[in-house]
Amino acid sequence: MKILVAYYSRTGVTKKLAEYLAKKINAETEEIKDTVNRAGVVGYMLAGRDGMKRRLTKLETPKLNPADFELVIIGGPIWSWNMSAPIRTYLENYKNQFKKAAFFCTMGGSGDDIAFKEMEEIIGKKPVAALAIKTKEVAAGDLNKAEKFCSEVTGTAA
């Protein structure tokens, strides 16, 4: 079973979770890279605006083709109660190439419900599993929910 974890991370929280998931389920990883500089206060404000307005961005070309994987696990941070612009763009760009998908996000506190609903709408497929984890849980290594997600994902994959 070939699995890809494709993630965007502005400050490293989602990256930490993505790497944990990939190791647990023996998946390859693709870090989705934005061409927009989102560092610092200005970058933060642009991110907030783009999340809120559901804007797309321009991504660097990914290394891997999601169509080569039986399952793609897609995750990023929540921005202004929405999925982040790089995740919206990745999904729009490759929406016809996901055989099966699972979703995850990291967030301060809320926004996962809207984000997951819209992610599903974009690709036109229900995720086999979904995982929302708070930033502070990732930082503390409090990843029980992630364990459950991994077994759901590998269970449906089998």
Ligand X SMILES: Cc1cc2nc3c(=O)[nH]c(=O)nc-3n(C[C@H](O)[C@H](O)[C@H](O)COP(=O)(O)O)c2cc1C
Q: Where along the sequence are the contacts to ligand X (CB under 6 A)? A: 9-15, 44, 47-48, 51, 77-81, 106-111, 135
Which single residue is written with the structure tokens 């797309």?
A: 56
Cα-Cα-Cα-Cα dihedral of 16, 139, 90, 28, to 10°? Answer: 20
CB of 4 or CB of 78, closer to ligand X: 78
Q: Rounded to an integer, what distance in angstroms lies between the CA atom of residue 98 and that of residue 79?
A: 24
* Nearest CB to ligand X, comparing residues 100 and 137: 137
Handedness of CA 75, 5, 121, 35 (dihedral sign): positive
C-alpha closest to that of 106 among 74, 138, 77: 77
List the end-to-end C-alpha distance of the chain, in Å, as a whole number: 8
**Nearer CB in complex with ligand X: 46/102:** 46
CB of 46 to ligand X, least distance (A): 8
Nearest-approach distance from CB 85 to ligand X, in angstroms: 10
Helices (H), 57-106: 85-94
Q: Provide the minimum distance between the beta carbon of 64 and ligand X in the complex, in angstroms, as a whole number.
A: 19
Minimum CB–partner distance for residue 47 and ligand X (Å): 4
Cβ distance to ligand X smaller for residue 41 or 158: 41
